[in-house]
Amino acid sequence: MQIGFSGGHAIVPRLDCTSFDWSGRTVQMLQLGADDHYFFSGKVGQGAYLGAGLGVGMAKFEVDLPGMSDSDTPNAVHGAAAVGYRFTPHLGAELRYV
């Protein structure tokens, strides 16, 4: 979802979920946050943009292998930065660092 404003700015709420379980290693993450996207074209949803955001992440990491067992459940506030390009209103590419 994208909430557009004048001047090429948009707020993008995010809910990201990751789940990975392989050979005794488990990762589960849930991140909730929002980003501000600035479109260089001045029109929301068109062309290149820069983004920055804040959020909170909840995670669970577990390792259960022969001779090694550990788990951690860190929760933290995080920041994000992104650069992207919208080809159409429904198709784009983004490189994001959290």
pLDDT (tens digit per residue) in 6-55: 999 999 999 999 998 888 889 999 999 999 999 999 999 999 999 999 99
Can you give the pLDDT at residue 77?
Answer: 95
Can you give the pLDDT at residue 95?
Answer: 97
Range with the largest mean pLDDT of 42-46, 64-68, 69-73? 42-46
Cβ neighbors of 45 (< 8 A, separation 6 or more) are 2, 4, 10, 39, 86, 89
Residue 89 main-chain phi, psi, to 5 deg = -60, -20
Reading the block at residue 98, the tokens are: 């959290």
* HSE toward the beta carbon, residue 60, CA cutoff 13 A: 7
pTM exceeds cut of 0.85: no
